[in-house]
Amino acid sequence: MNEKLIRCFEEAAGEYVSGERLSRELGISRTAVWKRIRKLEEEGYVFQSSTRLGYRLVSGPQRLRVDALLARLSGTGFEHAVQVLESVDSTQNAAHEALLAGAPEGALVFAEAQTEGRGRLGRAWYSPPGKGIYMSFILKPDVPLALAPQMTLLIAVALCRAIRKETGADATIKWPNDILIGGRKVSGILVETMLEADAVKAMVAGVGITANVREEEFPEELRPRATSLLEATGRPTEREALVGAFFEQFAQLYALYKTDGFAPIRSLWEALSSTLHGRVAITTAQGVVTGAAEGITDEGALVVREDDGRLRKLYSGDVAAPAPSSGGGSGRTG
């Protein structure tokens, strides 16, 4: 039955096919057609739907191919130990295991799906099969622990530049680790740091990019604040090309960081940031801080000038929608 459905779309060669026609040709109800399309989406097919025109097949399931990835990664330093897993709890766990087994800097793990993808602050990362980029890689930078957060900012710059270059979308960075398009999150970064006697022994850097997910496929609770590259650009993203673009950017910035330090990365981050130069309301463990976001420090802290003029350095928190401009007095609560 699915083969027949797919054949209908293939015959339409990328044009819309009405729900009514599909229902007639398959001899099933329109609701049953809709359910089958949802099922195919879970397998990695990408459709567009229109209440007027019906459904259009945008792309079939695409697998990440190791040889194609290796060609894209050539010369970046990330082409020597690449694994592509079909499904894993979290690529972070797989990379931690590789690290314990002696994997070098540059080892890289991808998965087509994650059953327990994780984000910052213990949140889950939505990881449907074949529709996103879920990857973790090992870094062994020679930095003191206090400067470890710089890596998240460096990765954010590489990611933002790669998304802009590859898709043309107007991606920006929301402090500390989100990439937004049109104010909605399309990608996140999670850097986990391993210590040895207070020094950074290694980092496992995880990047999730929501590539080819349609709005209707997102879990309802994510819909208001999440988007995908497909939704933002109207086109499916070729994941291998985007991976290549990311590591090309990352390799350049990492080399620059090693020679010139954090200052040039900070300038690039500030230029791409949607958090700076405006009012912010930031939820921290101590309460909400409101004020003007003025910059970031070398430790990756966000510098906020509160409404009473005091400067606050925030090391972690969630930036909410811009706070209304101050009428005087402190906006800090809690």
Under the rule (CB under 6 A), what is the footprint of ligand BTN?
90-92, 114, 117-120, 123, 125, 134-136, 177-178, 188-190, 206-208
Q: 172-176, long-range: CB within 8 Å, 24+ apart, which pairs?
A: 172/272, 172/273, 172/274, 173/269, 173/272, 173/273, 173/274, 173/275, 174/273, 174/274, 174/275, 174/319, 175/273, 175/275, 175/276, 175/293, 175/296, 175/302, 175/319, 176/149, 176/152, 176/300, 176/302, 176/316
Residue closer to ligand BTN by CB (options 24, 123) is 123
In whole angstroms, the minimum distance from the beta carbon of 44 to ligand BTN comes to 17
The minimum distance between CB 174 and ligand BTN, in angstroms, equals 10
Q: In whole angstroms, how close is the CB of 71 to ligand BTN at the nearest point?
A: 22
Indicate the SS3 state at residue 4. helix
- Residue 192 CB-half CA count within 13 A: 19
Query: Taken in order 161, 167, 171, 177, is the CA torsion positive or negative?
Result: negative
Residue whose CB is less far from ligand BTN, 77 or 119: 119
Q: What distance in Å separates the CA atoms of residue 213 and residue 42, rounded to the nearest whole number? A: 10
By C-alpha distance, which of 207, 243, 209, 211 is closest to 230?
Answer: 211
Closest contact distance (angstroms) between CB of 293 and ligand BTN is 19
CB of 300 to ligand BTN, least distance (A): 15
Question: What is the closest distance, in whole angstroms, from the C-beta atom of residue 159 to ligand BTN in the complex?
Answer: 11
Bridge partners (DSSP) listed for residue 123: none
At a CB cut-off of 8 Å and minimum separation 6, what does 196 contact?
A: none
Please say whether the dihedral angle defined by the alpha carbons of residues 191, 195, 200 and 201, taken in this order, is positive or negative. Answer: negative
Place of tokens 């460096």: 154
319 Cβ contact partners less than 8 Å away, ≥ 6 residues apart:
174, 175, 275, 280, 281, 282, 293
Nearer Cβ to ligand BTN (5/173): 173
Q: Which lies closer to ligand BTN via its Cβ, residue 173 or residue 289? A: 173
Q: What is the DSSP string of 249-296?
A: HHHHHHHHHHHH-SHHHHHHHHHHBSSTTSEEEEEETTEEEEEEEEEE
Looking at the Cβ atoms of 53 and 121, the one nearer to ligand BTN is: 121
Choice between 5 and 136, CB closer to ligand BTN: 136
CB of 306 to ligand BTN, least distance (A): 26
Dihedral pair phi/psi, residue 2, rounded to 5°:
-65, -35
Q: In the complex with ligand BTN, which residue's Cβ is closer, 135 or 158?
A: 135
Report, in Å, the least distance between residue 176 CB and ligand BTN.
Answer: 9
Choose among 140, 96, 115: nearest CA to 258: 140
Q: How far is the CB of 25 from ligand BTN (least distance, A)?
A: 39
Question: Which one, 178 or 231, has the nearer CB to ligand BTN?
Answer: 178
- Using CB atoms, what's the residue nearest to ligand BTN? 188
- Nearer Cβ to ligand BTN (49/93): 93
